[in-house]
């Protein structure tokens, strides 16, 4: 049976705005059910362990999907989410793949988290795929390949666009822009129209542009581990 690790943010402050952030509900729920319905064993982790913070905006009526509605009545999934394991306790060799949901939180913690950086490097070095959607490609800021270069160097990637960040009014709030970071690290960045699904695969890296890309990215990851 295939085992997929999902890594969520523990960061809940939206810069110095006084507003809350965290993970984006759809970007967790849609992939979670793609994996669950395929019979995959799912483990949830976060830097601090326990309940990861939910971006309150992602739970508003406008952003509900079939997956988020299913999650809202799924006690088993809610209990699992409330008890994420500490990322520092995760052993990479226990898993076949890793999926990182977005939300603005990862820009602050997962992008800089030593355990996350080690996990990514270890997975890629052992031929195991990693998927990240929306703001979660922020996790690729620091990991290096065996050649000492960024893991995105020369790779086709996507992630939350500068124009999408402008649209939500947070360009000046976030610590860095995902699109700019991926380009600066040597990634071959591509995008489609704002808020449209766009998933890019290059070797072991699977990236999605925005919330609309989360289910598609999860399905690509499932195929990559041979569980689809």
Mean pLDDT over 74-86 rounds to: 98
Q: Which of 96, 155, 88, 151 is nearest to 120 (CA)?
A: 151
Crossing angle of helices 214-224 and 25-37, rounded to 10°: 40
Quote the mean pLDDT of the chain: 97
pTM of the model: 0.98
Q: Provide the pLDDT for residue 214.
A: 98
Flag whether pLDDT at 80 surpasses 80.
yes
Q: Provide the pLDDT for residue 35.
A: 98
Q: Provide the pLDDT for residue 87.
A: 98
For residues 23-50, one letter each, b for 16 or more C-beta atoms within 10 angstroms of the residue's C-beta and e for the rest, the string is bbbbbbbbbbbbbbeeebebbbbbbebe
Q: Provide the pLDDT for residue 228.
A: 58
pLDDT one-digit tens code per residue, 114-156: 999 999 999 999 999 999 999 999 999 999 999 999 999 999 9
Q: Provide the pLDDT for residue 227.
A: 67
Residues of the chain above pLDDT 90, percent: 99
pLDDT one-digit tens code per residue, 209-219: 999 999 999 99
Burial class (CB in 10 A: 0-12, 13-18, 19+), 196: exposed
pLDDT one-digit tens code per residue, 148-180: 999 999 999 999 999 999 999 999 999 999 999
Flag whether pLDDT at 192 surpasses 70.
yes
All domains of the chain, ordered by start, with CATH? 3-224 (3.40.50.880)
């Amino acid at each position: 049976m295939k085992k997929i690790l999902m890594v969520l943010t523990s960061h809940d402050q939206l810069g110095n705005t006084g507003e809350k952030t965290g993970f984006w509900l759809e970007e967790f729920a849609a992939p979670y059910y793609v994996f669950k319905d395929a019979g995959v064993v799912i483990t949830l982790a976060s830097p601090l362990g326990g309940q990861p913070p939910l971006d309150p905006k992602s739970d508003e009526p406008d952003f509900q999907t079939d997956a988020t509605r299913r999650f809202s009545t799924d006690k088993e999934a809610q209990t699992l989410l409330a008890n994420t394991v500490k990322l520092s306790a995760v052993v990479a060799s226990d898993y076949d793949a890793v999926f990182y949901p977005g939300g603005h939180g990862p820009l602050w913690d997962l992008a800089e988290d030593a355990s996350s950086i080690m996990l990514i490097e270890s997975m890629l070095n052992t031929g195991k795929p990693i998927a990240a959607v929306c703001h979660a490609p922020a996790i690729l800021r620091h990991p290096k390949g065996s050649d000492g270069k960024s893991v995105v160097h020369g790779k086709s990637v996507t992630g939350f666009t500068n124009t999408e960040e402008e649209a939500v009014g947070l360009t000046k709030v976030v610590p860095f822009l995902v699109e700019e970071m991926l380009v600066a690290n040597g990634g071959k960045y591509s995008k489609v129209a704002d808020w449209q699904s766009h998933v890019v695969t290059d070797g072991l890296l699977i990236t999605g542009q925005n919330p609309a890309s989360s289910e598609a990215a999860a399905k690509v990851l499932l195929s990559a581990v041979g569980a689809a």
